[in-house]
Amino acid sequence: MALHTAHLLLILMLGNKIELHIERLVYGGKGLGRHNNMVVFVPDVITGEKTLVEISARKKDYAEAELIQVLEPSPHRIAPACPIYHDCGGCQWMHIDYPFQVQSKREILAETFKRTLKMDDIAIQPLIPSSPLNYRQRVQFKVHPVRDKAPKAPGGRWQPVSNGVKHENSKYQIGYYKKETHQLVDVNECLLLRPLLNKALKKIEELLNSGKISQLKDLKELHMHCSSDERAMVFILYADEISKDELNNLFKEIKEAVSEATGIIFIDKYKKRIIAGSPFIEEELQGISFRISGDSFSQIDWVQNKILVKLALDYIGDAQYKNALDLFCGIGNFTLFIAKNADNVIGMDSGKTAIDDAKYNSKKNLISNISFMYNDVKYGMASLLAEGKRFDLVLIDPPRNGVGKDSVNAIVRLQPSKIIYISCNPVTLSRDIAHFKAKGYELKRLQAVDMFPQTYHIETVAELVK
């Protein structure tokens, strides 16, 4: 046994090359293979492929490797449509045909729940697919000044990676970070973005490099958010400082270049928010109108968001509830619809602009049985419990890290008979549902919606009852 272990360690030393059969794809986007029972994770592969890989890292229970060659390719392997796919960190699965991406996400969801909940009988419906490209209405780019030389030492913050299309006189590069690094990958067009966002990216890049918008000489991040009809968009700019007059002049320059621009939100080095124009876009869903601040959280694809909301409402059903609670409510994406099924509703979120939007949206739509709390969910629930509040319906839509055991316990103490849990991370979702099951809740239904084609991310709606 000791000789076998020593032999395995020798084979899996850094830099060694091995042949590896890929058993399946896992959450995170990599493929899983085994070499003498040691798990090895590899990016850029597909289930069923035979590969040649090079060991790049060794951990206690597994190894990581880089793909050297696909020896026996999957029939689902395709040529990535994006010329910078292998450098850019934005996508992980553009080398896989879209139907198999959808199938793989369902398999990852099933395997995650089976492993975490020890359940073999979870009925998971096929994922609801999306448009594979041009679906994103929001994007976040990093911006760096062009340097004559890239940093030689690891202490340097970044190193630009160009796709070869830049003008030789470029002063700024705009893009995403390279996979698992802080190297900037220069992006001229992102195939996941709506056409308006790509048009705006080119225009901003031209303005920056022409020197016409010198107010942004210290620009660090460029965020953009457009409406689903692509008739309006907001720019969110992160830089050190700007005066109100300078920002107004900047908005005029940008408006001339991008006629759909409705406003700018400028975030300075002190996190102060300065506005020119209107910082909002407008959307509609099932007869309800939404005002969304450019920097409020909302789903990246309003078309799929409509499906997500309908699915959650189907799980809520036609029952009438006395008190309902929407945790991580954002702009009121679900809250405004829950109000139809409840006498009283409370929406809670730690985002100030999102809560302001939610209050505006409920008032504009003449919905009077909702109140909103601007608070961290953990402390907000503690306050509700201290007041003796109880809720028969709770909806949760947390960030990727989920809610955790303490918040699960707090939700249970609120005594809901039904919980709707919306998640973008099956690992934390299954962990939290395991805590709910330990408290007597039953997982009744589970359905995933593909909000993020070309990536490993999975949006899921779960119904828990007691």
The residue among 214 and 67 whose pLDDT is bigger is: 67
Q: Give the active site residue among 91, 190, 226, 424.
A: 424
pLDDT tens sequence across 195-205: 999 999 999 99
pLDDT, position 171: 83
Query: What does the domain layout of the chain look like in residue ranges?
Result: 2-77, 138-281, 301-465
Residue 162 reports pLDDT greater than 60: no
Q: CB-based burial of residue 97 (10 Å sphere; 0-12 exposed, 13-18 middle, 19+ buried)?
A: middle
Amino acid at 185: V
| Fold of the CATH domain 138-281 | OB fold (Dihydrolipoamide Acetyltransferase, E2P) (2.40.50)
If phi > 0 it is left, if psi is from -120 to 50 it is alpha, else beta; for residue 48 that is: left
pLDDT tens sequence across 31-70: 999 999 999 999 999 999 999 999 999 998 999 999 999 9
Residue 123 reports pLDDT greater than 80: no
Residue 186 reports pLDDT greater than 60: yes
The residue among 10 and 234 whose pLDDT is bigger is: 234
Give the residue-averaged pLDDT of 407-431: 97
pLDDT, position 9: 56
**424 catalytic per annotation:** yes
Residue 238 reports pLDDT greater than 60: yes
CB 293 within 8 A of CB 354: yes
Instruction: Pick 2-77's CATH classification: 3.90.180.10, 3.90.1560.10, 2.40.50.140, 1.20.1630.10.
Output: 2.40.50.140
Residue 5 reports pLDDT greater than 90: no
Handedness of CA 44, 47, 49, 55 (dihedral sign): positive
CB 338 within 8 A of CB 318: no
| Poorest-pLDDT segment among 98-102, 155-159, 398-402 | 155-159
**CATH fold match for the domains 2-77 and 138-281:** yes
pLDDT, position 269: 93
Please give the model's pTM, rounded to 2 decimal places: 0.91
Residue 147 reports pLDDT greater than 80: no
pLDDT, position 180: 79
pLDDT, position 425: 97
Q: How confident is the model at residue 173 (pLDDT cuts 50, 70, 90)?
A: very high
Give the residue-averaged pLDDT of 250-266: 97
Give the residue-averaged pLDDT of 141-147: 88
Residue 445 reports pLDDT greater than 70: yes
Residue 338 reports pLDDT greater than 60: yes
Residue 391 reports pLDDT greater than 90: yes
pLDDT, position 154: 40
pLDDT, position 6: 53
| Whole-Å CA distances, 52 to 35, 49, 69, 75 | 12, 10, 5, 18
pLDDT tens sequence across 263-289: 999 999 999 999 999 999 999 999 999
As a CATH number, domain 301-465 is 3.40.50.150
d(CA 398, CA 208): 36
Q: How confident is the model at residue 182 (pLDDT cuts 50, 70, 90)?
A: confident
d(CA 341, CA 312): 12
pLDDT tens sequence across 292-311: 999 999 999 999 999 999 99
